[in-house]
Amino acid sequence: MAIAGSYEDFFTAVKRDDPQGIAVLLNRGFDPDTRDLQGNTGLFLALREGSLKAAKALVDWPRTNVETRTAQDESPLMMAALKGQTELARKLIERNADVNKTGWTPLHYAATNGHLAIIELLLENHAYIDAESPNGTTPLMMAAHYGTPAAVKLLLEAGADPSLRNQLGLSAIDFANRANRPDAAELITRSARAALPKGKW
């Protein structure tokens, strides 16, 4: 339960990246899963805003629910993946954060910004490499459009299927071409050709 008068102090401490201030409030019984006016928890905000000491304090607090989602169904692990916060992502996974939540996944978010260490971490923890977003978009498609050639290469080498299409009929190559990413398109084309029986291309 949130304690009256502590609400503003808590979110101020998150914004200022003040783990000591957060610890004082938590030890007094403040609910770490309290949401701000936009429906975000302190942990999600700390990860989004780069308040990494505050985020660590909240992840380490045993009563923090690391799976509390936003109204858009975003989890703290998704935000850590998007921001490239590898050690915090590791801590969240150790706290049983859901690597394979339905819909958009942490792997989609890591691929979007090309965070190789987090892509590898998620795959090591059994992230489904061809996870489909609500419209059928895969992490490889996100890497092809928004990420880096290195992220595309990593996903392909780990077994991502370049032939899949989303609900709009777009493949990873289409995503690369739409973003004017010839380097990514070439990697995907090469991978797709390598998967075909000889004489089929």
How does pLDDT run across 130-170, given as a tens digit for each residue? 999 999 999 999 999 999 999 999 999 999 999 999 999 99
Is residue 115 within 8 A of residue 146, CB to CB? The reply is no
Give the pLDDT of residue 126: 97
DSSP-derived letter for residue 102 is S
> Which DSSP state fits 150?
H
pLDDT digits (tens, 9 = 90+) for 76-112: 999 999 999 999 999 999 999 999 999 999 999 999 9
8-42: pLDDT as tens digits: 999 999 999 999 999 999 999 999 999 999 999 99
Mean pLDDT, residues 164-190: 96
Take residue 56 and report the two structure tokens written for it: 């660590």
Count H helices and E strands in the chain, helices first. 12, 0
197: helix, strand or coil: coil
**Close Cβ partners of 84 (under 8 Å, ≥ 6 residues apart):** 110, 113, 115, 117, 118
pLDDT computed for residue 201 by the predictor: 42
Phi, psi of 193 (to 5 degrees): -65, -40
Domains belonging to the chain, first-starting first, are: 1-65 (1.25.40.20), 74-201 (1.25.40.20)
Q: How many CB atoms lie within 10 A of CB 153?
A: 18
DSSP sequence for 13-82: HHHTT-HHHHHHHHHTT--TT-B-TTS-BHHHHHHHHT-HHHHHHHHHSTT--TT---TT---HHHHHHH
Element of type H or E holding 96: none
**pLDDT confidence bin for 192, thresholds 50/70/90:** confident
Specify whether the backbone of 127 is left (phi greater than 0), alpha (psi in -120 to 50) or beta: beta
Element (H, E) at 181: none
Nearest to 48 by CA among 20, 88, 8, 18: 88
